[in-house]
Structure 1
């Protein structure tokens, strides 16, 4: 009878090794987990590639493609802000002059000195952040290299590892793991792919709105709205608040009203509250409310990586609960049948 079950001391030893490895590489564990979750979403591309090329070459090409996409996105964002820096400075100066004029008339508002202090505080904070970034550059480089290597490894061996684990489990446990993994894959798809799709939808909705608003640089504003949609929690709402203040500063009450009554609901709320839950529900098969709990809770507890891990953990808990209830009901049915 004992030979049908794995030796508990072997399991304990392997568990201790895994815990020790996690503690030893704790500073890199977030990067490795991030690479693993992204690899799950990219595996369908890998399965298509290996029909015509070597699996190792496929994993390398996909990791290289990810690197190119990320670096291109960062470079594009920096270029967009740099090429429009004079225009952005003009808007900021216009707002500051408006605030100063309001203060001169006795209108209760933030004074020029307070505004200057706030700006200097933000500049100092940004300077400290960039200094810390330069100081941490070697570690950031190491994390980037580890991320790419882990991504290649997970893509290259992901299917094989998953198959080995599932096939080594008892029948009912194997089926439960398959069900949970299906939910996990759908959730990760919803997090990564749907996030990008929502940003694209925001960009497309922003183009006609900013054109109708009548301001110059329609594509610039639409691009910023799409890029901000990729930022957890804030999204394009930050852009709308900024533009609403600018509209008031130039006396454009029509523009301020359009931003408040049309811009925010269509460009900010519609993608987040309608399209995102709708598309997520098609794949994740998880209540959108639970997804949002995962997003906000994950960000609060784990930082930016919590935006990925929060919903994933919620999905695993829910799918695990469903499997547990089904197994308990099956065991109760068998017990009643024997009785």
Structure 2
């Protein structure tokens, strides 16, 4: 019985599983820049091939596409290091004062609530709100303390090295994708190779489609938000619209995750005009998202909204914030394996 199990196929499978476990446990945590560069290079491969067909040279097509990506990254880095960071630090400095203003404003709201609700209910509600506002003020002050800023600065050399490794690896992977495909094909059976190719095309098309749709939707949101903020806070319209655009990339939260709390703050502190403007902007952003999202996103992702939500929640619980994005991708890979026949599901209970 034991000898029957020790076939060449089973031994190869066990070695592959063991190496995969060791890779995910030991190698992956310290190879995130390289793995990220490989994934991005594979996702960009269709664009490289199209450009290569027009130019006639893979080297120059990779160089042109890589230069465009590098230019975009440099512009974003400049904006983040100058405008966005400066605005965040200014906001962090004034946030304790804003929290104190919010506490004072809540006291006046409490007076009105006492006329509508029993005193025991309003007292309990007031205690919870006061605790929340005080804890928010203290946590923000601690987060931007000198020690935390010093720790972040000490991490900068490692972050710079990781960024350089990512950029160099991305360029080399983009050049070497055809050779990598030839190497994989040489060391796999034809049936396995084409099944893996089918799975990769399905996953890459869905993931790239999802990312492309998210970027387009966030860019449209940024345009509308920037125009709207020009009539609300023209001096900080660019920075705030960029921050809202970045937050809009996060699943479920969206742009209204900032504009709605901002509206409530202005309403509680008594700035009703600004609150009305922000409320109108929030409604407009929500409506345009609901109208444009089905048309841009389409059905190319391959997952239903319920399955996407469940995979996001499970990924968040198991892997933290990163799992929010990895969860749907893992589920998509599993679904693709089932659809391709790599995983057999023809059983009944």
TM-score normalised by L of structure 1: 0.73
> What is aligned with 1:144?
163
Q: Are 2:104 and 1:100 equivalent residues in the alignment?
A: yes
Deviates more, 1:309-318 or 1:294-303: 294-303
- Could you tell me whether the CA contact under 8 Å between 2:314 and 2:327 is conserved in 1? yes
Q: CA deviation at 1:27?
A: 2.6
- Could you tell me whether the CA contact under 8 Å between 2:33 and 2:166 is conserved in 1? yes
> What is aligned with 2:255?
236
Deviates more, 1:87-96 or 1:224-233: 87-96
- Residues 46 and 307 from structure 1, CA distance in 2 versus in 1: closer, same or farther, beyond 3 angstroms? farther
Q: For the residues of structure 2 that align with 1:292 and 1:266, how far apart are their CA atoms?
A: 24
Match of 1:317 among 334, 340, 343: 334
- Could you tell me whether the CA contact under 8 Å between 1:188 and 1:312 is conserved in 2? yes
Deviates more, 1:231-240 or 1:198-207: 231-240
> What is aligned with 2:245?
226
Alpha-carbon displacement from aligned partner over 1:9-68 (angstroms, at most 9, x marks no partner): 566666656655555534323333322222222223322444547645654664454344
**In the TM superposition, what are the counterparts of 1:57-136 in structure 2 within 5 Å?**
58-59=61-62, 62-63=65-66, 65-81=68-84, 93=97, 96-103=100-107, 107=111, 108=126, 110-111=129-130, 115=133, 118-127=136-145, 128-136=147-155
Q: Report the secondary structure of 2:300's partner residue.
A: helix
Q: CA deviation at 1:103?
A: 2.9
Q: For the residues of structure 2 that align with 1:160 and 1:288, how far apart are their CA atoms?
A: 38
> What is aligned with 2:284?
266
Q: Are 2:282 and 1:280 equivalent residues in the alignment?
A: no
> What is aligned with 1:336?
none
Q: CA deviation at 1:318?
A: 0.8
Q: For the residues of structure 2 that align with 1:152 and 1:319, how far apart are their CA atoms?
A: 29
Give the RMSD, CA atoms, in angstroms: 4.1
Give ranges in structure 1 of 5+ residues lacking alignment. Answer: 330-339
> What is aligned with 2:320?
303
Q: For the residues of structure 1 that align with 2:94 and 2:234, how far apart are their CA atoms?
A: 13
> What is aligned with 1:186?
205
- Residues 87 and 7 from structure 1, CA distance in 2 versus in 1: closer, same or farther, beyond 3 angstroms? closer
Q: Report the secondary structure of 1:25's partner residue.
A: helix
Q: For the residues of structure 1 that align with 2:339 and 2:39, how far apart are their CA atoms?
A: 22
Alpha-carbon displacement from aligned partner over 1:147-190 (angstroms, at most 9, x marks no partner): 22332233222243235535765455444323311211112213
Give ranges in structure 2 of 5+ residues lacking alignment. Answer: 1-6, 112-125
Match of 2:29 among 27, 30, 37: 27
Count of paired positions: 321
> What is aligned with 1:40?
42
- Could you tell me whether the CA contact under 8 Å between 2:222 and 2:241 is conserved in 1? yes
Alpha-carbon displacement from aligned partner over 1:76-105 (angstroms, at most 9, x marks no partner): 134334665798577974664353254378
